[in-house]
Amino acid sequence: SYLLKMGDFSRGDWCDTVDGLYWRFVQDHAHVLARNHRTAMMPRNLARLSSARREKIFPAAEAFLAEKTLPPVS
């Protein structure tokens, strides 16, 4: 992870959450990312992500979003 390489952070459960948020963004915007040759590798890398890894990081991201975001104002 970029944050582990460039920051002074220790590996922990937060890594799965951040990875899940990143890959969730890539999944949600794959149609846009795939159109640009500089970002097209992101959806391709997502396709190569193992199902075991997906099953670990996506629920962590969803739990984080459910806890930290407010419902839309109507």
Q: What pLDDT, on the 0 to 100 scale, is given for residue 29?
A: 98
Residue 1 reports pLDDT greater than 80: no
Torsion angle, alpha carbons of 12, 60, 48, 44, to 10: -110
Q: What pLDDT, on the 0 to 100 scale, is given for residue 72?
A: 85
DSSP 2-62: HHHHHSS---SHHHHHHHHHHHHHHHHTHHHHTTSTTTTHHHHHHHHS-HHHHHHHHHHHH
Q: What pLDDT, on the 0 to 100 scale, is given for residue 20?
A: 97
Domain parsing of the chain, residue ranges: 13-66
Using one digit for the tens of pLDDT, what is the confidence trace for 20-69? 999 999 999 999 999 999 999 999 999 999 999 999 999 999 999 999 99
